[in-house]
């Protein structure tokens, strides 16, 4: 169950992150620890998330939370990068993992399949391009529900 303060914290954190060219990708408030721990994962829009990005977000968010007094008692704030996700979701992911084995999950069947595996070639506005044993495959993006790295260990 999510903590009831998370929507308020998210409302404060999101615009701060955006002003720093970051996005909040995960937020959890663990009140079962003493003191409670507010964990926030941020990702840079255009490049790898740096330690400096996390530090800037931490300082800015800490000041804003102090000012709003959303969390009245002592807590620990942890800001970090989520690392590399096994799910490809933005253009940068599709460029970075070109040539990697991926699984493409479809919302509905395309050419008799709802799941495709192959090496990632690229994606454009209309298709995701793979190779399967050297053969090119193009899958309509409109039918794709998820693209993920194969055998990824997080």
Mean pLDDT by 10 residues, the chain (154 residues): 85 96 91 91 86 95 94 93 77 88 92 94 95 94 91 52
CA angle 151, 94, 107 (to 5 degrees): 70
Spell out where the chain has E strands: 22-30, 37-44, 76-80, 87-88, 101-110, 113-123, 127-132, 135-140, 144-149
Tokens representing residue 97 in the block: 């993992």
CA dihedral 38, 43, 48, 49 (to 10 degrees): -30
Residues in CB range of 46: below 8 A, 6 or more apart: 21, 92
pLDDT score recorded for residue 7: 93
Fold of 6-80: GMP Synthetase; Chain A, domain 3 (3.30.300)
Q: Give burial (CB, 10 Å; 0-12/13-18/19+) of 79.
A: buried
pLDDT score recorded for residue 44: 87
Is there a contact between 40 and 57 (Cβ–Cβ < 8 Å)?
yes
Q: What are phi and psi of 95, to 5 degrees?
A: -80, -45
pLDDT score recorded for residue 152: 53
State the architecture of 87-149 in CATH terms: Roll (2.30)
- Fold: same for 6-80 and 87-149: no
pLDDT score recorded for residue 1: 52
- All structural domains of the chain with their residue ranges: 6-80, 87-149
């Amino acid at each position: 169950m999510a903590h009831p303060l998370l929507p308020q914290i998210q409302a404060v954190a999101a615009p701060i992150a955006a002003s720093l060219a970051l996005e909040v990708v995960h937020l959890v408030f663990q009140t079962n620890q003493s003191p409670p721990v507010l964990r926030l994962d941020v990702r840079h829009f255009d490049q790898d998330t740096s330690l400096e990005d996390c530090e800037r977000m931490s300082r800015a968010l800490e000041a804003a939370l102090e000012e709003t007094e959303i969390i009245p008692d002592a807590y620990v704030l942890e800001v970090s990068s989520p690392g590399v996700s096994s799910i490809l979701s933005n253009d940068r992911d599709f460029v970075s993992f070109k040539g990697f084995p991926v699984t493409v999950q479809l919302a509905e069947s395309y050419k008799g399949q709802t799941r495709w595996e192959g090496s990632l070639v690229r994606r454009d506005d209309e298709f995701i391009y793979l190779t399967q044993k050297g053969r090119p495959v193009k899958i309509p993006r409109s039918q794709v529900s998820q693209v993920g790295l194969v055998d990824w260990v997080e």
